[in-house]
Amino acid sequence: MLLLGSLLSFTALATAACAARFPKPQIKPWVPPGPDDSRGPCPMINTLANHGYLPHHGRNITASMIEHAFTSFLNVEAGFADAARDFAKAFGHDVFDLVDLNTPGIIQHITSLTRDDYTPEQPQLKADPLRIESLLADSDTPFLTVDSIAKTRLRLLQESEPRVLPDNQVTFTLFEAAMTLTMMADHSPDADHDPPPSAYQGPKDRIRMWFEEERFPTEFGWRPSKRTIKLADMSPAIDAIVKSMEKQDQNGKVALKFHS
Ligand code: HEM
Ligand SMILES: *[C@@H]1O[C@H](CO)[C@@H](O)[C@H](O)[C@H]1NC(C)=O
């Protein structure tokens, strides 16, 4: 009995030591939005609200709340929240509901990876599973890559015709494509180390769960990045995506105006 007791306490001690060395991720549970919860078109902001890193009701949100969720949980630098400050300024209120992020022409745009183009009748579109399947099908490996997402961007520009994505929104789509490749990866490439285009790849199983359910794919091994992800880390990916788009658009069907 004594032996069993000391064995048990040894196991408990060993488990505690192990847990301290390999802390289990403390990720708040995912709770899907209810009918009265406010959600917008950004898969990351919605996911943070679904896990309670932003108020689950998605109302009365400020840029500072988003910045706090980014720096304290997601481990991306505060600058990623500048988009929220710019949005609030353009929207005309420091406090907004997530549904307000659908306002066309501020950040929201056509040719999205996951949602059909808005129309005046349908200004608040949700992610479309078929559109997500097409995004994933553009790569024939288990990862989305620079080349696959460049192919997707070209395809979506063509599918939206005759509507044309305004030049000033092209940058948003490239930034979002870069974030899609980096945010679900185990090691998001550090721009300081001059990463090659092949360093950027996002696992499809994680991206599918993130986009379809707006849920952090911890079941597929996702954890917040250990290294703080910088805005600058997106630049090599964006450059590589633009180059790949230019190469793949050989017939010049899509007028690319990324130069300058
Ligand atoms: C780490 C930070 C962020 C990540 C990883 C992220 C990720 C993404 C991705 C991947 C998309 C593209 C969705 C698609 O094309 O279907 C997107 C769209 C969007 N994001 Fe975020 N986002 C971040 C920060 C923000 C912030 C701070 C705001 C402003 C409050 C914001 C507002 C939006 C909006 C309005 C869209 C819709 C664009 C469209 O019409 O497709 N995002 N985001
Ligand atoms: C949001 O703010 C408005 C105005 O102050 C208030 O009436 C409302 O109850 C708030 N909603 C939530 C969910 O906090």
202 pocket-lining for ligand 1 (C-beta < 6 Å): no
In this structure, the residue with its CA closest to atom 13 of ligand 2 is 59
Residue where the block lists tokens 């979002």 = 176
Residue 57 CA, closest ligand 2 atom number: 13
Residue 127 CA, closest ligand 1 atom number: 16
48 pocket-lining for ligand 1 (C-beta < 6 Å): no
| 193, 227 contact by CB (below 8 A) | no
| 231, 77 contact by CB (below 8 A) | yes
9 pocket-lining for ligand 2 (C-beta < 6 Å): no
pLDDT computed for residue 229 by the predictor: 98
| CA distance linking residue 175 with residue 179, whole number of Å | 6
SS percent in the chain: helix, strand, coil, step 5: 50, 5, 45
Count of CA atoms in the C-beta half-sphere (13 A) of 198: 1
pLDDT computed for residue 250 by the predictor: 81
Positive or negative, the CA dihedral 97, 103, 108, 111 is: positive
132 pocket-lining for ligand 1 (C-beta < 6 Å): no
3.30.70.360, 1.10.10.10, 3.40.630.30, 1.10.489.10: CATH of 127-255:
1.10.489.10
pLDDT computed for residue 108 by the predictor: 96
pLDDT computed for residue 25 by the predictor: 61
50 pocket-lining for ligand 1 (C-beta < 6 Å): no
Residue of 171, 180, 109 lying closest to 145 (CA atoms): 180
Query: Which residues does the chain have with pLDDT short of 70?
Result: 1-25, 253-260
CB proximity list for 102: less than 8 A, separation 6 or greater: 40, 41, 108, 118, 123, 124
Residue 82 CA, closest ligand 1 atom number: 27
| 180, 153 contact by CB (below 8 A) | no
Assigned token pair, 8: 């048990």
In order of 49, 59, 153, 185, 241, the CA distances from 238 in angstroms are 27, 32, 12, 16, 5
Residue 57 CA to ligand 2 centre (angstroms): 10
Mutating to test ligand 1, I would choose from 118, 176, 184, 238 the residue with most ligand atoms within 8 A of its C-beta, which is: 176
60 pocket-lining for ligand 2 (C-beta < 6 Å): yes
Residue of 172, 179, 191 lying closest to 236 (CA atoms): 191
Count of CA atoms in the C-beta half-sphere (13 A) of 22: 3
Single-letter residue type at 144:
L
- The Cβ of residue 88 has, within 10 Å, a number of other Cβ atoms equal to 19
| 145, 181 contact by CB (below 8 A) | yes
64 pocket-lining for ligand 2 (C-beta < 6 Å): no
57 pocket-lining for ligand 2 (C-beta < 6 Å): yes
Mutating to test ligand 1, I would choose from 38, 42, 67, 168 the residue with most ligand atoms within 8 A of its C-beta, which is: 42
